[in-house]
Each structure stands twice: as structure tokens, then as C-alpha cells.
């Protein structure tokens, strides 16, 4: 081996040590130590939030619950029908879809009560529940909102509550935001605008007033800011 050859080998090795790797950012691959918390489709571009930072996804994003989001802004759940993420919607890794109006719903198939009407939602499309539906845990849901567990314990689905077909637990998510100085709630499946002096109890036991001040069940306080969305998650047991 000549001295010239050895010098070329050393130069190549040194370059490999100092040259940065060039690759596209893939939100589906968990770059670094982070993972995808949520995705949204903004101005024709699929954006992913990783470690609190928003980056462009260069290929499809895989989330828990068998959710796959394509760069075109469409997504599927467990290989089901393709659905579109619309401008302003945020799909989080827990399978919840948050819309600009403050509503939060799971993308899994589910049963929900809205305005006293029981609806079955499959592949994102809602229709009245007209027949008995059985959840994966054996709980039976009737068109009148009754839920009967395998142990024959009966409960009723209340407005705003949701039951995922593949789980059985009852969940509800209220939200609050300030829009043009007014506190707007999405509660029990409906939109509410708080009046001056009004205080409202939310799904997790928190209380919020018309100034946007929130008192949580543990006594801690949060002050809402203009445009900020705050979620109040509540859960029960359908068994």
C-alpha cells in the first residue's frame, strides 16, 4: 500500500467523522428521543408535533390505535375508510380529534349521546343508533341510551359522553377557549358562551368563570388566554 493511498483513506475517514448526515425528517420514525404527539394538515402540508416542536412530515405518520396519516392529509383507523383532516383539526396520539370549534371526539368507532339522541359513529360518519350494539367487553348499548354490562349493571349514556366500541369505558371531554374576549365552552356535545358572572362546572370537576379563570379540583388555578384551548377530560366505567 502506497503512502498516497494511506493518505486518501485517512482523509475519507476524517470526512465521515465530521460530515453531518443528510436525511429527510420523518414524523413516522420518532426522530431523536421524541415521538409524535399530534398531527395536523395546514395549508396543504402535513405537520407533526414532536417534543413540542412542529415539523413537516415527509412520509406517512403511524400513531397508536392503528392510526395511519398520509402526507395528503387523509388518515385511516385500523385499515378502515379514508378520512380527511380538515384545516384547523388536530389528531393526537390518544386517538382524539380536536376541531376548531372546540369539540373533541375519538376517531375510533363509538357511540355517543348528543341532545338526548344516541348516535353510532363508524369511520367518522354518524347515524342514529337503531339496534342493540355490543361493545368489545360485552356491554350492550340500546337505542334509548341504556348500557347493560355483562354483570347486568345498568347505566345511562349522558349527553356529551362517548363509548368506544373497542373499549367500553365511558369518556367525555369538555373544552374552553376565549374568542374575542368571550369564554366559549364545548360541553355535553354543545357550544355554550358564558355570560358575565356565570360559573360552569366541567367534566373533570373544574369550575370556570366568564373571565376565563379555571379552578381545578385540587385547588390549582389556570387563567385562559385569547385563542388558547383548554381540555377538561372526565371518565367513568361502563361496567
Task: Give pLDDT tens digits along the chain (239 positions).
Answer: 554 444 444 444 433 333 333 333 444 443 344 799 999 999 999 999 999 899 999 999 999 999 999 999 999 999 999 999 999 999 999 999 999 989 999 999 999 998 889 999 999 999 999 999 999 999 999 999 999 999 999 999 988 889 999 986 778 889 999 999 999 999 887 889 999 999 999 989 999 999 999 999 999 999 999 988 999 976 544 34
Q: What is the pLDDT of residue 113?
A: 92
pTM of the model: 0.74
Q: What is the pLDDT of residue 134?
A: 94
Within a 13 Å sphere around the CA of 86, how many CA atoms are in the beta-carbon half?
Answer: 6
* Rounded Cα gap, residues 215 and 80, in angstroms: 40
Q: Are 98 and 106 within 8 A, CB to CB?
A: no
C-alpha angle 57-62-66 in degrees, rounded to nearest 5 = 155
Q: What is the pLDDT of residue 114?
A: 86
Grid coordinates representing 38?
399530534
Q: What is the pLDDT of residue 57?
A: 95
Distances (CA, A) of 3 to 8, 81, 172: 9, 64, 73
Grid coordinates representing 137?
367487553
Determine if residue 143 is left, alpha or beta; phi over 0 gives left, psi from -120 to 50 gives alpha, anything else beta: alpha
Q: What is the pLDDT of residue 172?
A: 81
Q: What is the pLDDT of residue 99?
A: 94
* Rounded Cα gap, residues 35 and 93, in angstroms: 9
Report how far apart the first and last C-alpha atoms of the chain are (Å, whole number): 77
Q: What is the pLDDT of residue 10?
A: 42
Short-list 141, 176, 178, CA closest to 161:
141
* 5 CB neighbour count, 10 Å cutoff: 9
**Cell numbers 390505535 label which residue?**
65
Grid coordinates representing 30?
420518532
Q: What is the pLDDT of residue 119?
A: 96
Q: What is the pLDDT of residue 189?
A: 79
β-strand pairing of 229-235 with 170-179 = antiparallel
Short-list 58, 100, 95, CA closest to 80:
95
Which residues make Cβ contacts (< 8 Å) with residue 134, sequence separation at least 6?
Answer: 140, 141
Grid coordinates representing 193?
358562551
Q: Are 66 and 166 within 8 A, CB to CB?
A: no
Q: What is the pLDDT of residue 50?
A: 94
C-alpha angle 77-83-89 in degrees, rounded to nearest 5 = 100
> Following DSSP, what letter does each residue of 184-203 receive, concatenated?
EEEETTEEEEPPTT-EEE-T
Amino acid at each position: 500500500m502506497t503512502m498516497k493511498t494511506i493518505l486518501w483513506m485517512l482523509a475519507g475517514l476524517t470526512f465521515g467523522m465530521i460530515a453531518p448526515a443528510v436525511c429527510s425528517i420523518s414524523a413516522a420514525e420518532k426522530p431523536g428521543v421524541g415521538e409524535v404527539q399530534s398531527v395536523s394538515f395546514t395549508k396543504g402540508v402535513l405537520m407533526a408535533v414532536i417534543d413540542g416542536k412542529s415539523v413537516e412530515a415527509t412520509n406517512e405518520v403511524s400513531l397508536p390505535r392503528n392510526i395511519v396519516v398520509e402526507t395528503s392529509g387523509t388518515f385511516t383507523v385500523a385499515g378502515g375508510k379514508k378520512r380527511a383532516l380538515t384545516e384547523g383539526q388536530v389528531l393526537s396520539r390518544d386517538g382524539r380529534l380536536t376541531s376548531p370549534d372546540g369539540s373533541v371526539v375519538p376517531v375510533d368507532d363509538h357511540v355517543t349521546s348528543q341532545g338526548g339522541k344516541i348516535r353510532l359513529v363508524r369511520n367518522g360518519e354518524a347515524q342514529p343508533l337503531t339496534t342493540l350494539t355490543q361493545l368489545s367487553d360485552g356491554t350492550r348499548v340500546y337505542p334509548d341510551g341504556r348500557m347493560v354490562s355483562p354483570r347486568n349493571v345498568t347505566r345511562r349514556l349522558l349527553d356529551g359522553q362517548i363509548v368506544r366500541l373497542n373499549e367500553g369505558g365511558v369518556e367525555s371531554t369538555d373544552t374552553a377557549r376565549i374568542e374575542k374576549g368571550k369564554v366559549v365552552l364545548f360541553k355535553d356535545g354543545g357550544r355554550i358562551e358564558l355570560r358575565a358572572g356565570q360559573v360552569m362546572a366541567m367534566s373533570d370537576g373544574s369550575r370556570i368563570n366568564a373571565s376565563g379563570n379555571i379552578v381545578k379540583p385540587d385547588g390549582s388555578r389556570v387563567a385562559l388566554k385569547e385563542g388558547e384551548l383548554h381540555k377538561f377530560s372526565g371518565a367513568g366505567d361502563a361496567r
